[in-house]
Amino acid sequence: MNNTARFVLLSAVAAVEEEESRASAGAAGAAAAKTRPTLDDYLALSDFKVFFRVTQQEYNSILPILRLPDPVRTSERDTETAAVAFLLALAFLGGARMSALKRIFQRSPASCSRIINTTIDAIHQKWKHLLDINHGVNGLLSPVSLDRYAKTLSFQGLPLRGVWGYVDGTLFPIARPVRGQRDVYTGWKRIHAIKFQVLSTPDGLIWLYGPSAGRRNDNFLLNRSQLLPWLRQNSHGPEPGRRVLFVYTDKGYNTHGRFIAAYKGSFLTQNQKAFNRKMASYRIGTDNGVGNRQREDSLPPA
């Protein structure tokens, strides 16, 4: 047998083996799909709320509102119903490990990861406009809402009247990158990180601006976020009166109009120190909100 004939024969054998391998994999995948639990199986779990962090009633209410594509298809052609894909995302965001997801959803960790990422991305693309602070002026950050926030804080004993929210800068530590290490290194904390500006309200809502390089200071993010012009235009109560309202922040910032920072300097009076302590005690909600977000982001990656 000459070399040409041998090459043709080997190529034919390889093609047949590859086709058989694909057929075997397809059959295995189909068999696995048939044995996977159904949506009813998940809804019947006795510890549904513990695992997915919502009740069955809450889940059934939220799912149609999200308007997820059905089915959810990943770039690697994983396919899952919108109902189960949303459960996968809820379980992961609730802290479930990939080993648990593999066992419960009868999928490989890679497949679970792709479906989770695709589902979360679909939700973000559909609803990200709600996270825009400019969108909030018609609802959560309307003059009526801001006035209610300010009255709530005053009722709780805040010494400065007319404050409806808190602003703070927060660092999210990251692994040291191969390139651009100087941009994300902060000498203050001596870590590599990205930075966000957080605006929080008394009801726990968080409005983020970022990310920015970790080396940037708080005032840089403040200027880039265009928060100050937004406050000048929108930080007021409803008609009639339109009383001027403020946000408060720590001494890492400078005071600008409706943006009030803590007293700073080496020679503060006792009253100024007491004022700073009292105002800082109400920032716990902001710190808790950011801490919760960091804990969620520090979960094992999908």
| Domain residue limits, the chain | 36-128, 132-297
DSSP assignments along 43-66, one per residue: HT-TTHHHHHSS-HHHHHHHHHHH
What tokens were used for 80? 């899952």
238-255: pLDDT as tens digits = 888 888 999 998 887 888
Q: What confidence score (pLDDT) does residue 159 get?
A: 85
Confidence check: pLDDT of 297 > 80: no
User: Which residues neighbour 28 within 8 Å (Cβ) at sequence distance 6 or greater?
Assistant: none
Who wins on pLDDT, 15 or 137? 137
Closest CA to 80 of 124, 32, 43: 32
Closest CA to 90 of 51, 128, 62: 51
Calculate the average pLDDT of the chain: 80
Q: What confidence score (pLDDT) does residue 18 get?
A: 55
What tokens were used for 218? 């708080």
Confidence check: pLDDT of 162 > 50: yes
Q: Do 192 and 168 contact (CB within 8 A), yes or no?
A: no
Confidence check: pLDDT of 225 > 90: no
Quick one: CA torsion of 231, 237, 238, 242, rounded to 10 degrees? -90
CB burial of residue 123 (10 Å; 0-12, 13-18, 19+)? middle
87-130: pLDDT as tens digits = 999 999 888 888 888 888 888 999 999 999 999 999 999 988 87
176-207: pLDDT as tens digits = 888 888 888 888 788 898 888 888 888 888 88
Q: What confidence score (pLDDT) does residue 123 get?
A: 93
